[in-house]
Amino acid sequence: MKRMCSTGFLAATLSVLVAGVAQAGAQDAAPGSLQALRVSGTGPITEVAGATWSQAKAVKVALQPQVVATPTNPNAAIKEVTVRSVHNGEWLALLLEWPDYTKSDAVVVDGFSDQVAVEFPVVYKADAPPSPMMGNAGGRVNVLQWRAAMQRDLDQGREAKIQDFYPNAPDADLYYTNILPAEAGQPYMGAKGLGNAVSVHGHTPVLDMMAEGFGSLTTRAKQEANGKGVYRDGAWHVTITVPMQPTADNAPKLEAGHSTIVAFAVWDGGSQEVGSRKAWSDWVGLTVGK
């Protein structure tokens, strides 16, 4: 009985702490901390350098280790990310830059990919923001995660092969694709056969997802986000871009002259960071310029 009471007290205390952090994050985020500068052009904004970004205000966003949900990450590798934002009336983009001296763009048995994510509330209410930690029940968030491993495949124009990571591995003598038609082979394709967005080789290195709390993260039925990552001079330079008026549910509608909030997370694959082992930020204000 004593053990049950202690467990209940701990759970209640944790809930209060999580709610407190979420509210503090919303209050501490000064309105207009990030300014999405209006630029010319149409369509997705994926370039990571050039005139598009030269006038956009750079904001340094502090990151903190994720120590609430297990497995925790008390010694997160990345402490800060520099963020800029622009929009062209149709698409809004964020440029995220951070130092990383161990480029990690492969997922293997003992290694993980570098990643960065942007989080928006699906519906922004200034007096009742969702938790910045993956949202909460009734407070759904849109999570846009760029993955270096997916960028690598796109840059090479093909899916990675075993020999890319293990050069001495022999070629398989026979695969189901050699003897079965595509539909019959699906049961042997695992997650790819089920259309899992993480496994299917797509046109974008950004996963467009949604969540309402820990353990609820799932891909959106329609993948609308795009982006690009370039590793240069010991740092990642990544753009994540979204349509301001999405054509499907579970993504925010963004308008010039309006404000919202945004949060960030970074994973350093070289430091064995994956899943909940990450660095994350509180909410930061974002104003979409006219």
37-88 residue pLDDT tens? 999 999 999 999 999 999 999 999 999 999 999 999 999 999 999 999 999 9
Q: How far is CA 224 from CA 45, 214, 247, 289, in A?
A: 13, 23, 8, 22
The predicted-structure confidence for 133-156, as pLDDT tens digits, reads as follows: 999 999 999 999 999 999 999 999
Q: What is the mean pLDDT of residues 189-212?
A: 84
Identify the structural domains of the chain with CATH numbers, from first to last: 17-157+206-288 (2.60.40.1190), 160-200 (no CATH)
Residues in the chain: 290
Mean pLDDT of all residues in 251-260? 97
pLDDT > 70 in the chain, percent? 86
Q: Of 31, 37, 46, 47, which is closest to residue 243 (Cα–Cα)?
A: 46
pLDDT digits (tens, 9 = 90+) for 87-146: 999 999 999 999 999 999 988 888 899 999 999 999 999 999 999 999 999 999 999 999
Q: Is the pLDDT of residue 16 over 90?
A: no
- What pLDDT shows up at residue 28? 40
pLDDT band at 173 (very low <50, low <70, confident <90, very high): low
Q: How far apart are CA 118 and CA 247, in angstroms?
A: 19
Q: Residue range 228-245: average pLDDT?
A: 98
